[in-house]
Amino acid sequence: MLTSANTVLSGEIYAKQTASKFVMYNVLKVSNSTNGKLQAVTLQNIDNPLSLFETTAQKLAGAGYVRISQTPYINMAISSAKKKKVAKKPLRCPYTLDFLEARADSQRPEPTLPDLFTL
């Protein structure tokens, strides 16, 4: 169970075993109260992300919740905004002749030399 040295941290996974199911919760947020002794813990059901509830670390231990993962299951760290590299359109050499440019998609290219496309 939870002790003073074993505090609740955000990103940990807690679970509760009932007779019919095993429910896992992700710790979204841990905040200290004004007196500094109680920790308000916000939990999110992993199977149903819309299900959130708030409790204290002491009630969490008393209700039979067990920490099953101390390493964060969900990355809680905010990554810095990285600039995406935009792929530039390749530039064509000005002396290159595009023989496909003038045709429609359903047309075959016109033969540049008469013997290239003969059957």
HEC string of 71-106?
A: CCCCCCCCCCCCCCCCCCCCCCCCCCCCCCCCCCCC
Check whether 4 has a pLDDT greater than 50: no
pLDDT of residue 54: 92
Summarize pLDDT for 85-108 with one digit per residue, the tens. Answer: 666 666 656 565 555 566 555 666
Stronger pLDDT, 56 or 93, i.e. the higher one: 56
What is the band of 49 on the pLDDT scale with cuts at 50, 70, 90?
A: confident
CA distance 76 to 13: 13
Check whether 43 has a pLDDT greater than 80: yes
Global pTM reads: 0.53
